Amino acid sequence: MSTPASSDATEGRAGPAAPIAQGVPAAASATESDNGTAARVGAWVVLLGTAVTLVGLSWDIQWHNDVGPDTFFTLPHLFLYSGSAISGFASLAMVLITTSAQRAGRPVPRMGGTPIRVFGSNLTAPIGYMIAGAGAALFLLYGLLDLEWHSIYGFDAVLNTPSHVALFLSITLTMIGSIIVFAAHRDHFWGRSGIVLAIPILITFAPIPTNALNNLHLPADPTILGIVLFGPMLLILGGALLARLGATIAIAAALGAMQAILWWFSPWAAETYASAIGLPLRDGLTSRPPELPAIMPMFLIVAAVAVEGLFWLVRARGFDAKKIVLVAGVVTGVIVGATFPLQMNLTHAMPHIAFRDIMTITILGVPLGLLAGFLGSRFATMLPVFAPATTAVR
């Protein structure tokens, strides 16, 4: 199988993605990714599943804060598991479509990433759908572990139980698969649009598994460290992958829209559901913002503008893209690190992050941002390799 080439490198479009991917060899023949109905529906249904899961998670966290511990069988949990089931079944359908074409001797559809042979070569799975489907399957498997955990220990009082951490990592895998699927179709407008939506979903969710590190003695809250690392990394990944003017701003704007929706929905859903089943809310909730939307970096738009300016230096001034993405990582890490404590103090009635902690988080934004820039550029280089060869976008 030939190694696919980056469409940005092929057409020479201005932007950091082309220099970053300069080491990717060209494919023997350039072929457009599948633009058929199945490719579109499969990609968007997987993304829909991740969105439903994110809504369910925000609702579940709000339930823990506004009402209290819960059991396994709740409506927020139904959203969580339904989202993974939606993504999982969509991924399975795409794998079966690809396998059917391969076994019938027809050309394998170029959708969802490079097709690979799995389960003793019995199945031909596009890598994006394989990763998304594996995450969904693991989520449902670890759901049984969570059910057993509830049956032994009863109510969950915290998020960082072993079963929850396993569930969070599984969801993360599905969301990564969704990005790979859309990246394989970024030669089409709907593929690029999917990236703009899939990346903010992962930006929101990626810091959640860091709750597993709560028992370690770290210089700052592990969730905050996750926000400072993953927000810049995924923002730079999206900008470098799309290599289009305004891409990072579009991603940050999509994140802001999701934050606004969840900010309204989460407390409303928790209160409405509690009232429907006859449970009271905790006292003193009026001054508390919704938990998950409150930790979404609302000042990421500022970092996006800075990244766009740095990427412009590559397009217009010929600066070294590999160095610029590292600078972009540091700048973005510092911006997110400095503004996130400010965000917490602005959205909470009682400011609770001391100046010393703000300085610590801001300083940590330098090494974390440097790592984010490096990883974002490397992942932007890897994703075209996962995709079938594509023609230039005109």
pLDDT at 103: 85
**DSSP 3-state of 69:** coil
Beta bridge partners of 123: 118
pLDDT tens digits along 166-211: 889 999 999 999 999 999 999 899 999 999 999 999 999 999 999 8
Strands (E), the chain: 115-118, 123-126
**DSSP 3-state of 247:** helix
Among 46-55, 101-110, 197-206, 282-291, which stretch is predicted with the lowest mean pLDDT? 282-291
pLDDT at 142: 87
Helix residue spans in 33-153 (DSSP H)? 37-66, 75-103, 127-153
The structure tokens 């460290």 sit at 225
pTM of the predicted model, to two decimals? 0.86
Chain-centroid distance, C-alpha 281:
31
Span 281-297, average pLDDT = 81
pLDDT at 34: 79
% of the chain with per-residue pLDDT over 90: 51
Mean pLDDT, the chain, as a whole number? 84
pLDDT at 279: 79
Structure tokens, 359: 């300085």
- Binning pLDDT at 50, 70 and 90, where does residue 349 land? low
**DSSP 3-state of 214:** coil
Distance, CA of 30 to CA of 5 (rounded, Å): 8
Among 34-38, 63-67, 150-154, 255-259, which stretch is predicted with the lowest mean pLDDT? 150-154
Structure tokens, 113: 């990433």
Distance, CA of 73 to CA of 338 (rounded, Å): 40
pLDDT tens digits along 251-278: 999 999 999 999 999 999 988 988 888 8
Question: Does the pLDDT of residue 7 top 60, yes or no?
Answer: no
Name the amino acid, one letter, at 319.
F
pLDDT at 385: 58
Burial 224-234 (b: 16+ CB within 10 A, else e): bbbbbbbbbbb
Question: Does the pLDDT of residue 9 top 60, yes or no?
Answer: no
Structure tokens, 379: 């992942």
The structure tokens 């300085």 sit at 359
Long-range contacts of 339-347 (CB under 8 A, 24+ apart): 339/297, 339/299, 339/302, 340/224, 340/227, 340/228, 340/297, 340/299, 341/224, 342/299, 343/294, 343/297, 343/298, 343/299, 344/294, 347/289, 347/294
The answer to whether the beta carbons of residues 43 and 94 sit under 8 Å apart is: no
Structure tokens, 83: 């989202």
**DSSP 3-state of 32:** coil
Name the amino acid, one letter, at 168.
F
Nearest to 2 by CA among 379, 393, 383, 387: 387
Distance, CA of 362 to CA of 369 (rounded, Å): 10
The answer to whether the beta carbons of residues 203 and 191 sit under 8 Å apart is: no
Nearest to 125 by CA among 112, 115, 133: 115
pLDDT at 21: 39
% of the chain with per-residue pLDDT over 70: 84
Distance, CA of 101 to CA of 90 (rounded, Å): 17
Burial 261-276 (b: 16+ CB within 10 A, else e): ebbebbbebbbebbee
Distance, CA of 186 to CA of 390 (rounded, Å): 9
Residue that wins the pLDDT comparison between 11 and 311: 311
